[in-house]
Amino acid sequence: MKWALLSVWDKTGIIGLAQALTDQKYSIMSSGGTGKALAEAGVKFTEVSSYTGFPEMMDGRVKTLHPKVHGGLLGRRQIDDAVMAKHGINHIDLLVVNLYPFEKMAAKKMNLEELIEYIDVGGPAMIRAAAKNYRDVAVVVDPSDYPMVQDAVRGDGISAKERLILAKKAFARTAAYDAAISSHLYQLDSPFPSTFTVQYSHGRSLRYGENPHQQAAVYGNAGIAGAEPLQGRQMSYNNYLDLNAGVSLMREFDEPAAVIVKHNNPCGVAIGKDVFDAYVSARDVDPVSAYGSVVCVNRELTKKLAEEISNTFVEVILAPSFSQQVLEIMKKKENMRVITLPGSVPSDEIRTIDGGVLVQRTPAYQEHWEVITDRDPTPEEMKALQLAWKVCKHTKSNTIIFADKYHTLGIGAGQMSRVDSAKIAIEKACASLKGSAVASDAFLPFPDTLEVAAEAGATALVQPGGSIRDKEVIESANRLHMAMIFTGIRYFRH
């Protein structure tokens, strides 16, 4: 006789699974809410308390913590049979468990005394026992695996390979569960735990990393990490990095906007009356760099824009949606990845360093724009400053951005000297910089960057402020009749 023990918080699909197991001559054991659901559906089962001889107690805290349960899960066939028979322990062949929803309840900000009751004890104990004994016991922790189990029991049974796969998922689930509890408890009195644990699922191998000699994978089933092409080639490591950079910047804009990214930096950003206008404007900021880029737009891709993009080489195109007609047009570029804009998933930023990781969190904050020169920006200059500042936030430091009110004009990024960034932006400018606005991601330590920008034609500048030489920079701005704004917020990106 084969036994299956069912004990689940999430009842999704459990009745269908139980009926399939019953049809295949499994005897079912259950308790608590799962038993109640089975009874209401007319599925016959044995109460765990009837099997163990001990009732549920302590408001359900103790139900399955008993040698007859754990012996049934841990007992090795042909090795422990005699001791199991002596103590009346049945072999349990299948365990189906999902846990109290601690993560979901913790997100509701409930008080600790209430939340503590959502820490599952018996469930993880059974899962670990069954997973340890995977050669003889199948353990199922995810309702999405129920169809596979049903097919298997109707056929030749759950194979050794399938049991190992299920055991891996089981240990991953208990690891994530314990990490969530640990992290939450630590964060009650500290923003960061003394032991930092994270876990991401849905891992997929990539062809290689940043370069062909490097190995890589992507993990995550939501946000950019979970994004996979509707059509086109498999995403690469660099595609994911660039896409993440592009989407982060694109989300700064409410009006129709296009962001073009190359090597993790924007090479063209523009707003327009529609996304076609925005894309063409952004591309023409630096058409050489736009070749082989990642393109992000914040409106549904139009037929006109699809045809325009299909006339050049683009690695990835992302938009909120694509019509079937547009997808057919874009099939002409069979290697171009087509991605639907995913929802945002706010999270800590984690970067590896030798021997560990750096963890960064961005709490809610407020910029404080303050005009600190004799002259206020004109309305046109203010719009240009706002656009330049948005782009500046998402470009590698040191960065200097020239812009008008519609698009970037010149981008200088990733230089050790801020003056060099300004010179590069000027050299790469796609149009006259006369009357343009400039953004600097950090304060200007000397007037030189401002003076270089003014000589190129800029008439307004935005920067965080905070240098010991702010007075000198302000005096230079006034002398050059430039409007300047301090924001109080620095945006280094290393």
pLDDT at 56: 73
Q: What percent of the chain has pLDDT over 70?
A: 99
- Give me the catalytic one of 2, 132, 304, 383: 132
Task: Please give the pLDDT value at position 81.
Answer: 79
Q: Which residue carries 């006034």 as its tokens?
A: 478
Q: With helix as H, strand as E and coil as C, how does 276-324 read?
A: HHHHHHHHCCCHHHHCCEEEEECCCECHHHHHHHCCCCEEEEEECCECH
Q: Determine contact, residues 428/438, Cβ cutoff 8 Å.
A: no
Burial 123-149 (b: 16+ CB within 10 A, else e): bbbbbbbbbebbebbbbbbebebbeeb
DSSP code at position 34: H
- In this predicted structure, what is the pLDDT of residue 59? 67
3-state secondary structure of 157: coil
| CA 25 to chain centroid | 43
pLDDT at position 425 is: 97
d(CA 341, CA 344): 9
Q: What is the CA radius of gyration of the chain?
A: 30
Q: What is the pLDDT of residues 318-370, one digit of tens each?
A: 999 999 999 999 998 989 999 999 999 988 999 999 999 999 999 999 999 99
Q: How confident is the model at residue 419 (pLDDT cuts 50, 70, 90)?
A: very high
Among all chains, which residue has been given the structure tokens 């303050």?
Answer: 370
Size of the chain in residues: 494
Active site residue 44: no
* Predicted pLDDT of residue 60: 66
Task: Give backbone dihedrals phi and psi of 37, rounded to 5 degrees, phi first.
Answer: -65, -40
- Cα–Cα distance for residue pair 389/109, rounded to 1 Å: 35
DSSP 393: T
Nearest to 371 by CA among 486, 290, 268: 486
Which residues 6+ apart lie within 8 Å of 229 measured at CB? 235, 337, 338, 339
Pairing of strands 356-360, 349-353: antiparallel
pLDDT band at 78 (very low <50, low <70, confident <90, very high): confident
The gap from C-alpha 393 to its chain's centroid, in whole angstroms, comes to: 20
Cα 76 from Cα 71, distance rounded (Å)? 9
* Strand pairing report for 460-463 and 483-486: parallel
pLDDT, position 463: 97
pLDDT in tens, 97-156: 988 888 888 888 888 888 888 888 888 999 999 999 999 999 999 999 999 999 998 988
Q: Predicted confidence band at 57 (pLDDT cuts at 50, 70, 90)?
A: low
- Write the single-letter amino acid at 133: N
Cα pseudo-dihedral 454, 458, 460, 466, rounded to 10: -50
Residue 287, token pair as written in the block: 């058409």
Which token pair is 145? 């695996």
Q: For residue 89, with 0-12 CB atoms within 10 Å meaning exposed, 13-18 middle and 19 or more buried, which class applies? A: buried
Q: Is the pLDDT of residue 418 over 70?
A: yes
- Note the pLDDT tens digit of each residue in 214-249: 999 999 999 999 999 999 999 999 999 999 999 999
Question: 188 falls in which pLDDT band (50, 70, 90)?
Answer: confident
The angle at the Cα of 269, spanning 268 to 275, to the nearest 5 degrees, equals: 115
Q: The tokens of 285 are what? A: 């900021």
| H-state helical runs in 78-159 | 81-86, 102-106, 112-115, 122-132, 146-154
Helices (H), 59-207: 67-74, 81-86, 102-106, 112-115, 122-132, 146-154, 160-186
Which pLDDT belongs to residue 82? 86
Across all residues in the chain, what is the average pLDDT?
A: 92
| 456-474 burial: b if 16+ Cβ within 10 Å, else e | bebbbbbbbbeeeebeebb
Query: 66 pLDDT exceeds 80?
Result: yes
Q: Which of 68, 109, 169, 263 is catalytic?
A: 263
For residue 92, with 0-12 CB atoms within 10 Å meaning exposed, 13-18 middle and 19 or more buried, which class applies?
Answer: buried
Residue scoring higher pLDDT (111 or 487): 487
Residue 407 appears among annotated catalytic residues: no
Q: For each of the domains in the chain, give its residue range(s) and CATH number, in order of start.
A: 2-186 (3.40.50.1380), 226-340 (3.40.140.20), 370-486 (3.40.140.20)
pLDDT, tens only, 201-218: 889 999 999 999 999 999
pLDDT tens, residue by residue, 244-282: 999 999 999 999 999 999 999 999 999 999 999 999 999
Phi, psi at 95, each rounded to 5° = -120, 130
DSSP-based three-state secondary structure for 65: coil
Give the pair of three-digit tokens for residue 426.
């000027």
> To which H or E segment does residue 218 belong?
strand 217-218
